């Protein structure tokens, strides 16, 4: 009986490669499994579907990011406790670095849009053929992040005795995209945070760019800081 109970553990130990992510070639961490049955690290698949909404292994459609696989995660933790612990620490550190970097001013593509998006709000935007260069730039060079704000919305700020006009909007992340028959693309997005511009927009490779920083509502009176 003891040998039978130990058999699954020995099988897992000898087939470590079966539990590696095919994208990062490391032990799966925060695993997700697509409808076609292939498993990846959540951050790896999230990055992959920004470029193409298909499974990286078999090219089956991946319309939405799958939910985290709790059972597979528990199996990995029990079977490879040391390796999984090291991978968790590695991923947490990477996420922490990304979080700290997000607080710094950064240049992001700017998309003028009349609707308001609040942090954690999901939605979609239909981009036309003339937005193809913008969408390609965002996907390949900015990890699917860009800024959405209205051309009219401004928030006055006072610095050194002078008043400046700062635009306030939302940094959003692309979570999916669906090409349409008319040439347009329906882009699924999720708002990450509120941001404010630090300078007037500039143009880079035909794409409107804005230097933005995190915008905290408490930094100004509520009547002067509106999205």
User: Which part of the chain has CATH 3.30.40.10?
Assistant: 2-101
Handedness of CA 226, 209, 140, 180 (dihedral sign): positive
Query: Does pLDDT of 35 surpass 90?
Result: yes
CATH says 105-224 is which class?
A: mainly beta
Q: What is the pLDDT of residues 62-113, one digit of tens each?
A: 878 899 999 999 999 999 999 999 999 998 888 787 777 667 778 899 999 9
- Which residues does 35 contact at the CB level (< 8 Å), separation at least 6? 60, 62, 66
Residues 6+ apart with CB under 8 A from 206: 133
Share of the chain above pLDDT 70, in %: 81
pLDDT at res. 150: 83
Q: What is the predicted pLDDT for the residue at 37? A: 93
For the stretch 153-162, contacts whose Cβ atoms lie closer than 8 Å and that sit 24 or more positions apart, written own/partner, are 153/226, 153/227, 155/196, 155/220, 155/224, 155/225, 155/226, 156/224, 157/220
Between these two residues, 28 and 98, which has the higher pLDDT value? 28
Measured from the Cβ of residue 156, the count of other Cβ atoms closer than 10 Å reads 12
pLDDT at 154 over 60: no
Residue 2 pLDDT: 42
User: Per-residue pLDDT for 156 more than 60?
Assistant: no
Give me the chain's average pLDDT, please: 80
**CATH code for 2-101?**
3.30.40.10
Is the pLDDT higher at 163 or at 207? 207
64 vs 148, which has greater pLDDT? 148
pLDDT in tens, 183-209: 999 999 999 888 988 888 888 888 999
> Is 50 exceeded by the pLDDT of residue 12?
no
CATH 2.30.130.40 in the chain, residues? Answer: 105-224
Q: What is the pLDDT of residue 166?
A: 60
């Amino acid at each position: 009986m003891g040998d039978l109970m130990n058999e699954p553990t020995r099988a897992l130990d000898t087939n470590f490669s079966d539990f590696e992510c095919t994208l990062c070639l490391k032990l799966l961490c925060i695993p997700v499994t697509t409808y076609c049955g292939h498993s990846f690290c959540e951050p790896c698949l999230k990055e992959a579907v920004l470029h193409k909404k298909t499974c990286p292994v078999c090219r089956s459609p991946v319309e939405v990011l799958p939910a985290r696989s709790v059972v597979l995660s528990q199996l990995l933790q029990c079977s490879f406790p040391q390796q999984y612990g090291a991978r968790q620490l590695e991923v947490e550190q990477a996420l922490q670095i990304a979080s700290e970097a997000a607080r710094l001013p950064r240049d992001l593509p700017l998309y003028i849009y009349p609707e308001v998006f609040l942090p954690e709000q999901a939605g979609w935007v239909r981009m036309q053929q003339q937005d193809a260069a913008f969408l390609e730039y965002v996907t390949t060079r900015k990890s699917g992040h860009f800024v959405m704000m209205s051309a009219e919305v401004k928030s006055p700020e006072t610095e050194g005795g002078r008043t400046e006009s700062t635009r306030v909007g939302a940094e959003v992340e692309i979570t999916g995209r669906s090409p349409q028959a008319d040439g347009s693309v329906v882009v699924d997005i999720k708002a990450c945070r509120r941001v404010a511009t630090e300078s007037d927009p500039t143009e880079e490779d035909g794409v409107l760019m804005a230097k933005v920083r995190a915008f905290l509502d408490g930094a100004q009176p509520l009547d002067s800081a509106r999205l």
